[in-house]
Amino acid sequence: MSQHTVTLTDNKTGKTIELPVVEGTHGPPAIDVSKLYREAGFFTYDPGFLSTASCTSQLTFIDGNKGQLLYRGYPIEQLAEKSNFLEVAYLLLYGHLPKPTEYDNFEHVIMHHTMFNETVKNFFDGFRYDAHPMAIMVGVVGSLSAFYHDSTDVNNAVHREIAAHRLIAKMPTIAAASYKHSIGEPFIYPRNDLSYTGNLLHMLFATPCEPYEVNPVAERALDILFILHADHEQNASTSTVRLSGSSGADPFACVSSGIASLWGPAHGGANEEVLKMLDEIGDVKHIDKYIAKAKDKDDPFRLMGFGHRVYKNYDPRAKLIRQTCYDVLESLKINDPMFELAMRLEEIARSDEYFIKRNLYPNVDFYSGIIYKALGIPTNMFTVMFAIARTAGWISHWTEMIGDPAHRIGRPRQIYNGAAMRDFVMPEDR
Ligand code: CMC
């Protein structure tokens, strides 16, 4: 069978070029433009990467029209129901569901890398008491590159694996320490006999003064949220990790760059913004005013937790999180008017022509904050929670990229539209 190609014609010169088409397992085919510049003298232009595949990947697939999300081929709904976060992290990192012994070994390794070097504690003291925990995360995770010199040879597969384990293991410890720093409480050391999320809850909420018991409802809810946030193919933060890593940079520094990108309100920072927005709306009777603001092109306000670059249907994660909201609030016997408000906001937005026409649905961030709030996690820690879970995806993408012998430094082109070449002008002549 002849190879699928696409022929481009330059209507200025009449010249044509035939470009190969690359097909994946699922998803639209892609035109391979890698030789376009060399053979035809053109760059491609795609701000925001609306139509550009930056790499091939075997990790995650999203069908935005169907509202489908697969990790290594497994539907997110099945993983959320039947798996747990550490198993999903293994799946993302190694490509298959672990056999029981593989899982036990992995869990043991992760739960025995949870402590950070004691001197890392000093970094926290350098931050003001009211520093945003995401700012602390960027700094402290980046600082790990100064500590683990035995695992920073990115060309060594064993080093890469150790770095991946360390990152997944230490993120909850660093996250909890950021929180404790902000409230002026002593850091709580990890407990390796607890589950991944149980240990995180312990480090967040225990104090040295009294015993702390992990609530299994909170532990499972957090685990489900972490499964749903673990990966999402080439989003801004993952692409940042890949681009940073493409130069051979240290993995801890690369993940720190991913955290920085995640923090933005258009990305993971939206979960914090949703709660602030719901707080500001305050009552069902004000919803119409905020819907009108979101539709007004002269008003920068956007409905936070709504819309997605890829999903033009209900984000499957939002569906699962909404259900988890019901379960958690019911189990913990919490009556949160904010959940009612969020559901009413969704209902009103989804029946509005503006949102229907643009296929704007609730995304992963719309309901997650209500669960975090129910678990006692403060608003400024929401994006940190996201970062802990997404570390599994970031480091799996980094591992996939570095392990691919075809990988090269990422170096986008540009269309320069600045001043044409001109001569320097002396100060007195300007
Ligand atoms: N409220 C109001 N209008 C919106 C919204 C919104 N939340 N999202 C998109 N639109 C409009 C936008 O104004 C545009 O309208 P028009 O065609 O008239 O110019 C149209 O919908 C398409 O939007 P876009 O900005 O071109 O879409 P994008 O793919 O570049 O941006 C997005 C996607 C997620 C950044 C955007 O929908 C948004 O800002 N949402 C709110 C922030 C948010 O919830 N972010 C979390 C994303 S999911 C989790 C994650 O990535 O971490």
pLDDT tens digit string along 218-237? 999 999 999 999 999 999 99
Ligand 1 pocket member 261 (CB < 6 A): no
The better pLDDT of the pair 1, 424 is held by 424
308 noted as active-site residue? yes
Give the pLDDT confidence score for residue 10 in this predicted structure: 94
Query: Active-site residue among 132, 202, 229, 308?
Result: 308
pLDDT at 149: 85
Measure 308 CA to ligand 1 centroid, in angstroms: 6
* pLDDT of 152 strictly over 90: no
* Probe target for ligand 1 pocket from 261, 309, 356, with the most ligand atoms within 8 Å of CB: 309
Which residue in 181, 315, 365, 397 is the catalytic one?
365
How remote is the CA of residue 266 from the centroid of ligand 1, in Å? Answer: 8
Check whether 1 has a pLDDT greater than 60.
no
Is the distance from the beta carbon of residue 349 to the nearest atom of ligand 1 less than 6 Å? no
Average pLDDT, the chain: 95
CB distance 305 to 271 below 8 Å: yes
Instruction: Report whether residue 202 contacts ligand 1, using a CB cutoff of 6 Å.
Output: no
Query: Which of the four pLDDT bands, split at 50, 70 and 90, describes residue 406?
Result: confident
Contact 87, 223 (CB under 8 A): no
- pTM (2 decimals)? 0.95
For ligand 1, atom 4, which residue shows the shortest CA distance? 302
Question: Ligand 1: which atom is nearest the Cα of residue 309?
Answer: 29
**Sorting pLDDT into bands at 50, 70 and 90, what band is 2?**
low
| 16-22: strand order across its sheet | 5-9, 16-22, 30-31
The active-site residue out of 181, 229, 267, 397 is: 267
- Asked if pLDDT for residue 129 goes beyond 90, the answer is no
What is the structure's pLDDT at 85? 98
* Protein residue closest via CA to atom 31 of ligand 1: 309
Kindly tell me if the per-residue pLDDT of 304 is higher than 60: yes
**Angle (CA) 301 303 304, round 5°:** 105
Instruction: Please tell me the predicted confidence (pLDDT) of residue 151.
Output: 80
Residue 306 CA, ligand 1 centroid: distance in Å: 7
> What confidence category does residue 93 fall into, taking pLDDT thresholds of 50, 70 and 90?
very high
Can 267 be counted among the known catalytic residues? yes
What is the helix (H) or strand (E) element at residue 68, kind and residue range?
Answer: strand 68-71
Query: Which amino acid residue places its CA nearest to atom 35 of ligand 1?
Result: 266
**307 CB under 6 A from ligand 1?**
yes
The CA-atom distances, in angstroms, between 294 and each of 177, 205, 324, 364 are 37, 37, 27, 19
Name the residue of 308, 350, 354, 365 to mutate for ligand 1: max ligand atoms within 8 A of Cβ: 308
Please indicate whether residue 138, judged by its CB atom, sits closer than 6 Å to ligand 1: no
Phi, psi of 67 (to 5 degrees): 75, 45
Q: What is the DSSP letter of 268?
A: T
Q: pLDDT tens digits for 235-288?
A: 999 999 999 999 999 999 999 999 999 999 999 999 999 999 999 999 999 999
DSSP characters over 362-397: B-HHHHHHHHHHHTT--GGGHHHHHHHHHHHHHHHH
Which residues lie closer than 8 Å to 222 by C-beta, 6 or more apart?
A: 197, 200, 201, 375, 385
Write the pLDDT tens digit of every residue in 16-73: 999 999 999 999 999 999 999 999 999 999 999 999 999 999 999 999 999 999 999 9
Atom of ligand 1 nearest to the CA of 366: 44
- Residue 148 region, left (φ>0) first, then alpha (ψ -120 to 50), else beta? beta
Percent of the chain exceeding pLDDT 70 equals 100
Average of pLDDT values for 416-422? 98
pLDDT for 385:
98
Residue among 215, 166, 214, 168 nearest 191 (CA) = 214
Atom index in ligand 1 nearest the CA of residue 305 equals 44
- Does the CB atom of residue 317 touch ligand 1 within 6 A? no
